[in-house]
Amino acid sequence: MKGVARLIGWRDLRAALSSTSGYGMLAGFLALTGWSFAELLRRNEGGFVSAQAIWGMSVAPWLPFLAAAATMRLFAEERQTGTLETLLTAPVRAHDLVLGKFCAALALVGAGILLALLQVTVLRQGAPRMDGAFSMAGLAAAALLLFLQAAAWTAIGTFASLQAGQQAAAGVLTVLCIGAPYALYAGLLAWIPKMPHGVWRWPPLGHVSDAATGLFALAPPVLYSSVAWCVLFICVRLIEARDVRTR
């Protein structure tokens, strides 16, 4: 990352970690993923789903919310406090600004995934029944795919923060933007008669589950990386054209 982007990213990360909300956000995420993991493990007792796939599926649904919480302040807070004015009028390139802010938020979300991974490995030590069910390679593959998903969701959150007038609105917009395509897809399927229920699984869950069980296809990483780059590119163009909310 270039100097100016690194400076902007570092400032944002520092601001997030100097407030209790940053730690609260990570703690909330860990509590929810921990609870989901225990619940899914309990329901799957005697089932065929691997423990690492269950871990991946317990983290993936909460990632959009963590991304929303980490990104909603990026531009929306700067707009509310007025510092966006000094930032956009400084001789800073739009891509440095977007990249710096995106990386700061992604570092937070990545830290959440890493902590969730740490949490499950610690849980594994204390739960002998899980021995043998865990594949560390599968866990790493699931974590990698989760990180790519996090990049896509964080990019969407960066865009939402750039467009929304308030932090809360940015958070809601992020979750809607991530959930809307699937809701549309599921809604369309509901119109088709006699459609089997299997298609109702949220695709990102399936991607993580597949990666965790050794089915690491190329399409999902390409999809998430493309989403991230495309959305960040749109953010850069919007800033360059000064086509963002200024108040």
Partner 1 sequence: MLEVIQVTRCFGRRVALEQVSFQAARGDIVGLLGPNGAGKTTLLRLAACYLQPTQGVIRLNGVDSFRESLVFRSRMGYLPERCPLYDDMTVGEYLLYRARIKGFPFVKARIRSRELAEQLGLGEMRDRLIGTLSLGCRRRTGLADAVLHDPRLLLLDDPIANVDTVECERMAASVVNAARHATVLISGHALSQLGELCTRFLVLRAGHLVADVPRADLLASAGGARLAMEVSGAAEAALKRVSNLFPGGAAADVRLLPDGWWQVSWLTRQTGAVRDAVAMEVARQGWRLRSIELVTPALESRLADLVSGRAGATGSAGAKGDA
Residues found near partner 1 in the complex (CB under 8 A): 3-4, 7-8, 11, 14-15, 18-19, 81-86, 88-93, 240-243, 246
Residue 178, token pair as written in the block: 């991530």
CA distance 80 to 33: 31
Residues 102, 155 contacting (CB under 8 angstroms): yes
- From the CB of 10, what's the least distance to partner 1, in Å? 9
Residue 19, token pair as written in the block: 């407030």
- From the CB of 94, what's the least distance to partner 1, in Å? 9
CB nearer partner 1, residue 16 or residue 57: 16
CB nearer partner 1, residue 125 or residue 246: 246
- From the CB of 71, what's the least distance to partner 1, in Å? 18
DSSP symbols for 26-79: HHHHHHHHHHHHHHHHHHTTTSSS-HHHHHHHHHGGGHHHHHHHHHTTTTHHHH
CB nearer partner 1, residue 133 or residue 244: 244
CB nearer partner 1, residue 197 or residue 247: 247
CB nearer partner 1, residue 89 or residue 125: 89
- From the CB of 168, what's the least distance to partner 1, in Å? 20
> Dihedral through CA 57, CA 230, CA 66, CA 187, nearest 10?
-60
CA distance 97 to 246: 16
Cβ-in-10-Å burial (0-12, 13-18, 19+) of 32 comes to: middle
- From the CB of 234, what's the least distance to partner 1, in Å? 17
Residue 92, token pair as written in the block: 């800073």
